Amino acid sequence: MSNKTFGPFELQKAYNNEPVPADFVERRRISAAMQTLAERLIRAEGDIDTLSGWADQLEALVATVGEPDRRDTRAANRKLFTGSATAEDIFHMMDYDPVGGPSNPIAPQVEWLQEDQNGIEGALRLGLQYQGPPGRVHGGVIAWLLDAALSRALHAAFRLGVTGTLNIRYLAATPIEDTIHCRARITGQEGRKIFVEGGIWHGDTQTVSAEGIWLTPKSLG
């Protein structure tokens, strides 16, 4: 791992270009296995002995893991804003993102196809564990995904902000277990208020539209 350090506007570039630290290779393996397990076990048919056997094995693993120490990410965040974050700090911030983070077992995995000042686009497939109505993605999961996608458009354009308001219009069914695309872009700015819009598409059909206002915190604006 190099001794280079990074500031907020180098974060995405460092994350994409620096080698994945050895421990994150393993963290990603753990997360991928947990995700596969979640997808395979949800609604899985099985006789009582099979279910009980799986439960025993998983409970044994929980006992083995125990309650490990965990890193407080606020320190890495402070280092980022003073330009002194290391690549390791950046992986600790980004790899656990609840949408797309490869070391976060609850994060839907996203392939980011575009991330620049003009906007972002990601492709993903949501499994049965994200189902609301039969065959459709749960509306709350869609809101979760869009909050992240619209935030990402902000970061890709080197702006900083937190979600103030997010309005969502559900236009048509968003299918589970099929590829969908999310897109977002900045549409304007007034002082600390940044206006962002986006949506979800299944093929050529737009299934969800969203628009919102992100606020740059007073301390940074």
Q: Residues with Cβ < 8 Å from 215, sequence gap 6 or more?
A: 161, 162, 164, 192, 193, 194
Q: Which stretch binds ligand PKZ (CB under 6 A): 113-121, 132-140, 163-171, 173-181?
A: 163-171
Please report whether residue 83 would count as binding ligand PKZ according to CB under 6 A.
no
DSSP secondary structure letter of residue 67: S
Please report whether residue 218 would count as binding ligand PKZ according to CB under 6 A.
yes
The Cα 128–Cα 117 span in angstroms is 34
Please report whether residue 9 would count as binding ligand PKZ according to CB under 6 A.
yes
Side chain identity, residue 20? V
Please report whether residue 217 would count as binding ligand PKZ according to CB under 6 A.
yes
* Closer Cβ to ligand PKZ, 151 or 174, answer by number: 151
Side chain identity, residue 159? R
Cβ atoms within 10 Å of 79's Cβ, excluding its own: 18
Q: Where are the alpha helices (DSSP H) in the chain?
A: 11-17, 22-41, 48-65, 74-81, 87-94, 139-156
Q: Which stretch binds ligand PKZ (CB under 6 A): 4-12, 50-58, 118-126, 172-180?
A: 4-12
Indicate which single residue of 5, 8, 138, 144 sits in contact with ligand PKZ (rule: CB under 6 A). 8
Q: Which stretch binds ligand PKZ (CB under 6 A): 5-13, 106-114, 116-124, 138-146?
A: 5-13
* Closer Cβ to ligand PKZ, 123 or 162, answer by number: 162
The neighbouring-strand residues paired with 111 are 123
Shortest Å distance, C-beta 6 to ligand PKZ:
10
**Main-chain phi, psi angles of 86, to 5 degrees:** -85, 170
Shortest Å distance, C-beta 90 to ligand PKZ:
9
**Where on the phi/psi map is residue 203: left (φ > 0), alpha (ψ -120 to 50), or beta?**
left
Residues from 197 through 216 that contact ligand PKZ (CB under 6 A): 213, 215
Contact flags string 137-156 toward ligand PKZ, x per CB under 6 A: ----------xx--x---x-
Q: Residues with Cβ < 8 Å from 56, sequence gap 6 or more?
A: none
Shortest Å distance, C-beta 137 to ligand PKZ:
19
Q: Which of 31, 29, 21 is nearest to 88 (CA)?
A: 21
CA 154: distance to chain centroid?
Answer: 14
Shortest Å distance, C-beta 147 to ligand PKZ:
5
Site residues, ligand PKZ (CB under 6 A): 8-9, 11, 93, 147-148, 151, 155, 158, 160, 162-165, 191-193, 213, 215, 217-218
